Amino acid sequence: MGFDYIPPKSIEETVSMLSKYYGKAKVIAGGTDLLIQIRTKVTNPEYVLDITGIPELENIRYDENEGLRIGPLTTIRTLETSTEIHQRYPVISQAASQLGSVAIRNVATVGGNLCNALPSAEMAQALLALSAKAKITGPSGERVVPLEDFFTGVGTTVLKPEELLVEIQVPPPLTNTRARYHKHSTRGTIDLAIVNVAVVVTLEPGGKVCKDIRIVLGAVAPTPMRHAKLKRL
């Protein structure tokens, strides 16, 4: 089954088309996931909306008060190599470096990685451990959803058929905080994770007492999972 290829030029045009072709359209950016799904007939969209021509969806901005803002078209390779992210949010760079090959990271986008919603998706654990949020826009306006509530199951999210992820929001890094990402797979980065984990630890002034710890696991449940008992610390 074929599909109509449409390259909208703005967020508003994309949302309008998603509404017009309700449930029949898919958004494509890097295409590393969607094209495989179409070839293997996992999905059969009648319309494919290519959003790569919308410049405001590809950016990285940092503000000391607001924190980090990442556009969904930002490539995984950009997250891996960004000096700003490496200095302030190294766990994001660590996670990005574990996604596939360099060739894949040059094409794959953070928005696609999150919206594809695989339990093993590399970026979800790091961003969730950092208390990130997803900014979503649709015909009814904008809404912001904690990333912890964004995933609803394997391959599913809170995104409605007519909505678009437009920004990932990460709060400013806390002082005395350290973070680490680790992925275990059979053949290194090119394979999906058997298990992956992001850990963010914040210490009290002086560095001897743990103030807060966040451990987020992937590939062990239908959605990325924050360690439940640690929520009560």
Q: What's the pLDDT tens digit per position in 129-175?
A: 999 999 999 999 999 999 999 999 999 999 999 999 999 999 999 88
The answer to whether residue 25 sits within a structural domain is: no
Give the domain extent around 108. Answer: 55-232
Residue 1 pLDDT > 70, yes or no? no
Is residue 26, in this structure, part of any structural domain at all?
A: no
Q: Which amino acid is at 191?
A: D
Could you tell me if residue 40 is inside a domain? no
Provide the number of structural domains found in the chain: 1
For residue 160, give the DSSP letter. Answer: -
Percentage of the chain surpassing pLDDT 70? 97
| Domain contains 156 | yes
Mean pLDDT of the residues in the chain: 92
Over residues 179-228, the pLDDT tens digits come to: 999 998 877 777 778 899 999 999 988 878 888 899 999 998 999 988 76
In a domain, 15, yes or no: no
CATH number of residue 174's parent domain: 3.30.465.10
Residue at 181 is within a domain: yes
In terms of DSSP H, where are the helices of the chain?
11-20, 34-39, 76-81, 83-88, 90-96, 102-105, 110-116, 122-129, 147-150
On whether residue 34 sits in a domain, the answer given is: no
Mean pLDDT of 118-124: 89
94 falls within a domain: yes
For CA atoms 113, 226, 189, 70, give the dihedral sign. Answer: positive
Cβ neighbours of 194 (radius 10 Å): 13
Q: 28-75 pLDDT, tens per residue?
A: 998 888 888 888 888 899 999 999 999 999 999 999 999 999 999 999
